[in-house]
Amino acid sequence: MKVLLATRNAHKLLEVRQILADGPARHLDVLGPDEAGIPPSPEEEHIEAFESFEENAMAKARWFGTRAGIPTLADDSGLEVDLLDGRPGVRSRRFAPLAPGEPEPEDQDRRNIDHLLDLLGDAPLAGRTGRFVCVAALWVPEHEVEVEGGREQMRRGEAAGLILGRPRGWEGFGYDPVFLDPPTGRTFAEMTAAEKRRRGHRGAAFRAIAPALATLNPVRGPS
């Protein structure tokens, strides 16, 4: 069965395919929007306008799913830092301030990290606690596909860690170079892709929703 992953990020598409390939939903054919025939639209930039990961993830799943007409997965993720009262949270992607009308720069990840470290200042490492959060959402078209647990479902994954004072590592993206995973003593940017899937928030969320995906079944018409 084909399912859509609501992202145009090739890195995320590959990561989710690899996560699902190791579990009960390995038989699914996970498509990106281009493969599903959904052309880019300016509307996509305004889907994630809510104040929670859950609302953003489900809004994206519904938007893409109604256009594709097939079961659709989406996620919203970000970094929550305790000293900053949970920021950047749902604003993680665009945390560093931009001038009015300024487009997102190519070095947005670096600017976000610099802004985060400026806000944390000289706070001791033990107090720089935080977590990566990912909410995976599943939307299933009514009357066409059956699924156990309901046609709209969500699962949350988290990875707890500490925010370093300077970046370490060259892998990954976003805040990975400053996010220390205490049990391994490494940042997410120092891990292999396979290690990050095992330790990370996205892996946790999509592994949690995989059993529901495994129950997807086309509704059979009258014989």
* Residue with the two structure tokens 């104040």: 51
Q: Is 34 assigned a catalytic role?
A: no
pLDDT at 223: 45
pLDDT at 104: 75
Looking at the structure, give the CATH architecture of the domain made up of residues 2-218: Alpha-Beta Complex (3.90)
**Confidence band (pLDDT; 50, 70, 90) for 107?**
confident
Question: Is this prediction's pTM over 0.75?
Answer: yes
Contact between 169 and 102 (Cβ < 8 Å): no
Of 93-102, 146-155, 199-208, where does mean pLDDT reach its minimum? 93-102
**Confidence band (pLDDT; 50, 70, 90) for 102?**
confident
How is the chain split into domains, by residue range? Answer: 2-218
Whether 45 has a pLDDT exceeding 90, the answer reads no
175-220 pLDDT, tens per residue? 999 999 999 999 999 999 999 999 999 999 999 999 999 999 987 6
- 103 compared with 123, residue with greater pLDDT: 123
Indicate which residue of 29, 75, 76, 85 is catalytic. Answer: 76
pLDDT at 221: 57
**Confidence band (pLDDT; 50, 70, 90) for 78?**
very high
- 153 compared with 172, residue with greater pLDDT: 153
Q: Quick one: average pLDDT of 153-170?
A: 97
Whether 222 has a pLDDT exceeding 80, the answer reads no
